[in-house]
């Protein structure tokens, strides 16, 4: 099999560069031991890109991303850019990347590793074995809807406006992704909106129902209001398999689901568009400016994101599983970075975690 791939690597801000360094060790291992050859384009996104190009995602960077098999990203943002204009903030670079690459489906697994059950703030019996996949719509809804803006009303008052808007094709294509993924899992989809108060939610529910009847009646479908879903995630999270929801609810529910696992430093994500087009892979955690540059960050979320890239964009599921299994074994041995350590004194550094993983991959 041809294992030549072009990847764009965007370390970004904060802890992004240091965790990405550990991903490179895994890339090198695949080249040395598994016959891969990667052509890597490294570039900036977020605040780092703002500092270099004057905007958080340069056109030339976007072109490189589009011409790659996959994009591996670190994280964006930090206090340094707090006063930058809204449309040039680090986050705006990430939103542009998602939009221009057509990445309408964001896959956020919340998986509780057996070795980390104790790290959750919920009781072990509630989270043990938990395996949820949130499929978040990523290029529509209130994040991109028009009109938007802050208007001066001239009487000492201002008006802030954002628009929640969805069209049928947007709901159908992300729904289809959710049903397809459910078939490879426990065959259940929970669709979340606020159909009780929002027209866009009513449309969402009707379109998902119609899609289910037309294409996916073999999958169990359940509808749930998003606020109830937030509550059920804490009450009885194992009732869920795949959750499909809009951009804003998905943002919130995926943060909540991630904390069920007790380890934001462990969670990967994949953002996918049309089949055959490159995806973007990034950890769910942010840039963590408070610990940046100190070698404290957990590189496993970004390494697991790279594993998702192998599976979903490079069609190398075998190697993806190899990496995921090696992560399990590292955890089973009690090897921990600070974020998941019970005994803080025993925590190892970012680069030591990368090295430990390579040792496990070679074992
Ligand atoms: C996420 C983040 C982003 C979002 C920010 C950084 C723009 O919170 O990926 O969940 O809101 O989508
Ligand atoms: Mg978020």
pLDDT digits (tens, 9 = 90+) for 165-191: 999 999 999 999 999 999 999 999 999
State the pLDDT at residue 263. Answer: 80
Q: How far is the CA of 31 from the centre of ligand 1 (A)?
A: 32
- The two counts, helices (H) then strands (E), for the chain are 12, 12
What 3-state DSSP class applies to 243?
Answer: strand
- Rounded to the nearest angstrom, the distance between the alpha carbon of 155 and the centre of ligand 1 is 34
The ligand that comes nearest to the alpha carbon of residue 99 is 1
Domain co-membership, 253 together with 198: yes
Q: Is 94 in the pocket of ligand 1 (CB under 6 A)?
A: yes
Question: Comparing C-alpha atoms, which of 356, 307, 344, 349 is closest to residue 119?
Answer: 344
At which of 259, 288, 318 does a domain end?
A: 259
pLDDT for residue 343 is more than 90: no
110: in domain: no
Are residues 62 and 23 part of one domain?
Answer: yes
DSSP secondary-structure letter at 218? T
Last residue of a domain, one of 235, 259, 283: 259
Sign of torsion over alpha carbons 248, 219, 101, 146: negative
Q: Is 207 in the pocket of ligand 1 (CB under 6 A)?
A: no
Q: Look at residues 274, 277, 267, 331 and name the one whose alpha carbon lies nearest to residue 305.
A: 267
What are the distances in angstroms from CA 213 to CA 94, 133, 207, 221, 260? Answer: 35, 22, 10, 10, 32
Inter-residue contact 97 to 280 (CB < 8 Å): yes
Segment 63-88 mean pLDDT: 96
> 145 and 255: one domain?
yes
Pocket test for ligand 1, best of 93, 134, 251 (most atoms within 8 A of CB): 251
Are the beta carbons of 164 and 145 closer than 8 angstroms?
A: yes
The pLDDT of residue 27 is: 98
- Establish if 264 belongs to a structural domain: no
- What's the rounded mean pLDDT across residues 50-57? 98
- Find the CATH number of the domain harbouring 22: 3.40.718.10
> What pLDDT sits at residue 215?
98
- Residues marked active site are found at 143, 194, 227, 251, 255
Question: Is there a domain that residue 108 lies in?
Answer: no
205-to-85, 132, 208, 212, 218 alpha-carbon distances in Å:
36, 21, 5, 10, 18
Provide mean pLDDT across the span 108-124. Answer: 91
Q: What residues contact residue 182 under an 8 Å CB cut-off, 6+ apart? A: 188, 189, 219, 241, 242
Say how far apart CA 72 and CA 65 lie, in whole Å: 9
Q: Are 251 and 219 in contact (CB under 8 A)?
A: no
Q: Check whether 62 has a pLDDT greater than 90.
A: yes
- The whole-number pLDDT of residue 120 equals 87
Domain identity same for 253 and 218: yes
83 burial class (0-12, 13-18, 19+ CB within 10 angstroms)?
exposed
Does residue 353 share a domain with residue 239? no
Q: Whose CA is nearest to atom 4 of ligand 1?
A: 251
The alpha carbon of 250 and the centre of ligand 2 are apart by a number of angstroms equal to 8
DSSP string across 281-316: EEESS---GGGTTTT-S--HHHHHHHHHHHHHTS--
Mean pLDDT on 20-43:
98
Residue 221 exposure: Cα atoms within 13 Å on the Cβ side: 25
236-248 core/surface letters (b: 16 or more CB in 10 A; e: else)? ebbebbbbbbbbb
Coil, strand or helix: which one is 8?
A: strand
Tell me how far the alpha carbon of residue 274 lies from the centroid of ligand 1, in angstroms.
21
For tokens 């462990």, the residue is 266
Average pLDDT over residues 24-42: 98
Say if 249 falls within a structural domain.
yes
CA separation for the pair 122, 244 (Å, rounded): 23
Residue 294 shares a structural domain with residue 222: no
In-domain check, residue 291:
yes
* 169 and 279 fall within a common domain: no
Residues 230 and 301 in one domain: no
CB-based contact 226:192 (threshold 8 Å): yes
256 lines ligand 1 (CB under 6 A): no
Give per-residue pLDDT as tens, 225-277. 999 999 999 999 999 999 999 999 999 999 999 889 888 889 999 999 998 99
What is the reported pLDDT for 264? 83
Give the residue numbers spanning the domain of 85: 1-102+275-363
The answer on pLDDT for 324 being more than 90 is yes
What per-residue confidence (pLDDT) applies to 100? 97
Please identify, among 226, 259, 292, the residue that sits at the C-terminal boundary of a domain: 259
Residue 288 falls inside a structural domain? yes
Residues 15 and 70 in one domain: yes
**Residue 342's pLDDT band (cuts 50, 70, 90):** confident
Q: Is the CB of residue 91 below 6 angstroms from any atom belonging to ligand 1?
A: yes
231 and 136 in a single domain? The answer is yes
C-alpha to C-alpha distance for 267 and 284, rounded to whole angstroms: 6
> Which bound ligand lies closest to the C-alpha atom of 12?
1
pLDDT at 118: 87
Asked if residue 323 is part of any domain, the answer here is yes
Cα Rg of the chain (Å, integer): 20
pLDDT surpasses 70 at 304: yes
Closest ligand (CA of 247): 1
Domain assignment of residue 121, yes or no: no
Q: Are residues 145 and 240 in the same domain?
A: yes
Closest ligand 1 atom to residue 94 Cα is 7
Q: Are residues 88 and 142 in the same domain?
A: no
What mean pLDDT is reported for the chain? 96
Please tell me the predicted confidence (pLDDT) of residue 1.
66
Q: Provide the number of structural domains found in the chain.
A: 2
pTM of structure: 0.94
| Residue 119 binned pLDDT confidence (cut-offs 50, 70, 90) | confident
Q: From the CA of 229, how far away is ligand 1's center (Å)?
A: 20
């Amino acid at each position: 099999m041809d294992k030549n791939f072009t990847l764009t690597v965007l370390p970004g801000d904060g802890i992004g560069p240091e965790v990405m360094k550990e991903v490179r060790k895994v890339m090198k291992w695949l080249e040395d031991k598994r016959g891969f050859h990667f052509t890597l384009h490294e570039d900036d996104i977020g605040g780092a890109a703002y500092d270099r190009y004057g905007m958080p995602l340069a056109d030339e960077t976007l072109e490189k991303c589009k011409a790659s098999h996959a994009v591996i990203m670190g994280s964006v943002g930090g206090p340094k850019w707090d006063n930058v204009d809204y449309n040039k903030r680090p986050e705006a670079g990430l939103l542009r990347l998602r939009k221009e690459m057509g990445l309408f489906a964001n896959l956020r697994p919340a998986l509780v590793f057996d070795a980390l059950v104790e790290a959750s703030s919920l009781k072990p019996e509630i989270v043990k074995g938990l395996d949820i996949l949130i499929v978040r719509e990523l290029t529509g809804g209130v994040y991109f809807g028009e009109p938007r803006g802050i208007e001066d009303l001239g009487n000492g008052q201002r008006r802030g406006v954002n628009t929640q808007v969805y069209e049928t094709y947007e709901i159908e294509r992300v729904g289809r992704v959710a049903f397809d993924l459910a078939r490879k899992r426990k065959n259940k989809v929970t669709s979340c909106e606020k159909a009780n108060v929002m027209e866009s939610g009513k449309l969402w529910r009707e379109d998902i129902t119609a899609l289910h009847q037309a294409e996916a009646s073999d999958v169990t479908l359940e509808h749930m209001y998003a606020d109830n879903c937030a509550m059920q995630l804490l009450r009885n999270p194992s009732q869920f398999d795949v959750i499909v929801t809009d951009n804003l609810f998905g943002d919130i529910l995926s943060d909540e689901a991630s904390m069920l696992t007790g380890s934001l430093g462990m969670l990967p994500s994949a953002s996918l568009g049309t089949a055959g087009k490159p995806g973007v892979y990034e950890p769910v955690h942010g840039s963590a400016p408070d610990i940046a540059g100190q070698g404290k960050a957990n590189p496993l979320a970004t390494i697991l994101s790279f594993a998702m890239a192998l599976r979903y964009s490079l069609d190398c599921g075998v190697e993806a599983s190899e990496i995921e299994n090696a992560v399990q074994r590292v955890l089973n041995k009690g090897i921990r970075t600070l974020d998941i350590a019970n005994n803080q004194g025993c925590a190892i550094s970012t680069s030591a975690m990368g090295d430990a993983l390579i040792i496990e991959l070679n074992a």
